[in-house]
Structure formats: C-alpha cells, structure tokens
Amino acid sequence: MRVIRWTFGMLALVIAFLLAAYLLHPILLPGYARFFQKQNATKGADAIICLSGERTTRVVESLRLWNQGYSNELFVTSEKPRNAEFSKLELSHLQFAEAVAAKMKLEASWKVLPSLTGGATSTFDEAKDALAYAKQKNWKRIIIVTDEFHTGRAFYAFNKTFAESKVRVEVAGAVNEVFSINNWWRSDRGIMAYLGETIKFPIYLLWDSEPEMVKNN
C-alpha cells in the first residue's frame, strides 16, 4: 500500500512540475536566454571588431554602430578556410563586409584584423589576435560585435584574454529575423544556438584558451 501511495505521489509531483514548467515557460525560457547576453557598447571606441560567424547579422550590426559614431575604425577577423580546395569560391569575411556596406550605401572602410595563427578557429583565437593588434596600435577601448546569444561567452573570452592589459572590451549583440530571446525555443536555429551556448559556456569558464581536446584545425 505504501509503495502505491509513494508511486502516485511521485507521479503527481512530476505532473505538477511539468504543468508548472509549461505554464511558466514564457517567463523561464526568455530569462534563461538573457543569461547568455551582454550589451554594453558605448560611443568613442578605437575600433569595432566584427567576429566571424553569422555574417549577415554581425556585419550589419557593425555597420550600424559605425554609422552612429561608435567608432571610425571597422575590422573583420581573419578566418581559417574551412575547405582549402574550394574556399576561393565564396566571399571572404572582408569581401562580404565590403559588399554589405556597398548595398547599404555606406562609405565604410573595412580592414582585416591580422591573425597570429593563420586564421582564427575560435573566439579565444580572435581575442588573442585583437589583443596583439590593440597593443600595437595603443588602443584604449574596443567594441566586439557578435550575435546576441553569443555576446556573453565572447565578452567573457575577451575579458579573460585582455585581463592583464589596459584595453577595455565592450560588446554589442546583433539581432536576427529568425528568433529572439522571447521565442528562441520555437525554431530549430534558436534551439541550436542556445543549446550550443549551454555546452560551450562552461568550457570557457574552465579554460583560458580553446581546450586541446577541441580540434578546429
């Protein structure tokens, strides 16, 4: 008899938990997404650095910031080619950025952030490239631009890399037309984006660079 009561009690708790999660998901899930986001860009930076990844969102946001006077300098990071044989068939990060600027009728001048390793394969690589160039140019403050869901991890990686320097790092997040913090669980892209951050963020907390077990070469 006790076993039966215990079983029904546990079943009732599970059902109550699932019902509460369903009823509260419009509050809980956006709150979860906000945990991964950071926005603190201010005007007057030495450079705006557009990180590699989703170009259609990040390049546009970088140009918006440039056009509103956040900085006069625009940079794209250097990417390692994903396929050496066919990489010349697609636009480079720089070529795409220049094409978007022309499409938006903005007289923006883009530069490539030099790479220390022949092309970045992670946010940590981009941070190291940015730090080396910032020291060379005596920059005081930079703005990194990435997707909203990636801002928290990118900001953490850059701050970790820049910890012993006098260069201040700020971050701006680009929105997209597919999902937002208010509906990310309703699309495949949104679920994959925040699932990816859920896995990757703890790795960035534990390591000061891309862990050796992760091969991006």
Structural domains for the chain: 47-206 (3.40.50)
Given a cut of 90, whether residue 64 has pLDDT beyond it is yes
pLDDT of residue 129: 95
Minimum mean pLDDT range among 11-25, 68-82, 158-172: 11-25
Q: Which of 5-14, 18-27, 126-135 has the highest mean pLDDT?
A: 126-135
Q: Indicate the residue type of 191.
A: I
Most confident of the following: 121-125, 171-175, 213-217:
171-175
- Locate 173 and state its tokens: 């997040």
Decide if 50 contacts 167 (C-beta within 8 A). no
CB under 8 Å, gap of 24 or more: what pairs does 182-187 form?
A: 182/30, 184/29, 184/33, 184/149, 185/25, 185/29
The separation between CA 148 and the C-alpha centre of its own chain, rounded to angstroms, equals 6
Name the nearest CA neighbour of 145 among 5, 39, 4: 39
Span 2-6, average pLDDT: 53
Q: What is the mean pLDDT of residues 159-182?
A: 92
Tell me, what's the pLDDT at 82?
Answer: 66
Residue 84 scores a pLDDT above 50: yes
Given pLDDT bands bounded at 50, 70 and 90, which one contains residue 217? very low
Amino acid at the residue 87:
S
User: What does pLDDT average to over the chain?
Assistant: 83
Q: How confident is the model at residue 69 (pLDDT cuts 50, 70, 90)?
A: very high
Least confident stretch, 23-32, 127-136, 173-182 = 23-32
Q: How confident is the model at residue 215 (pLDDT cuts 50, 70, 90)?
A: very low
Residue with tokens 């925040």: 194
SS3 label, residue 190: helix
| pLDDT reported for residue 71 | 96
Beta strand 47-50 with 141-147 is parallel
> What's the whole-number mean pLDDT along residues 104-109?
94
Confidence band, pLDDT 50/70/90 cuts, at residue 1: low
Would you state the pLDDT for residue 180?
A: 87
Q: What is the pLDDT of residue 46?
A: 97
Do the beta carbons of residue 137 and residue 165 sit within 8 Å? Answer: no
Side chain identity, residue 149 = F
Q: What values do phi and psi take at 86, rounded to 5?
A: -115, 5
Confidence (pTM):
0.83
Average pLDDT over residues 105-127: 91
Rounded to 5 degrees, φ, ψ at 109 are -110, 115
